Homo-oligomer: A and B are copies of this chain.
Amino acid sequence: MLVLITYDVSTLTNAGQKRLRKVSKICQRYGQRVQNSVFECVVDTTQFAQLKVELSEVINESTDSLRFYQLGKNYKNKVWHIGAKPSIDIEGTLLF
């Protein structure tokens, strides 16, 4: 299934910048960046659970925000892109 991850990490401090890099690194292991703070990940239920645990261990829950959107298996007709940085289909071919 496709899971979309969006995040706002407060980078006012060095610790915040470090958290941002960690969040980005974790997301890169599960999927691909489509915008600065947006990742698309094709994962199964177990991987999705792991991903949530890993990310929640990194962020500061009082300053950072993490959101997950489950797009299901038939996601290709649920996503539209306009403008720069078209995404690559993580399962193989070009989506857009």
- The residues of A with any CB-CB pair to B shorter than 8 Å are 4, 6-8, 10, 34-38, 52, 55-56, 59-72, 78-85
Copies of this chain, complex-wide, total 2
Q: How long is the Cα–Cα vector from A89 to B69 in the complex, in angstroms? A: 15
Chain B residues, Cβ within 8 Å of A52: 80, 82
Supplied contacts A61-B82, A61-B84, A65-B82, 8 more A-B pairs, CB within 8 Å: A8-B36, A35-B67, A37-B37, A38-B67, A56-B83, A60-B83, A66-B82, A70-B79
- Closest-CB distance, A93 to chain B (whole angstroms): 18
Q: How long is the Cα–Cα vector from A65 to B37 in the complex, in angstroms? A: 12
Chain B residues, Cβ within 8 Å of A66: 81-83
- Closest-CB distance, A26 to chain B (whole angstroms): 13
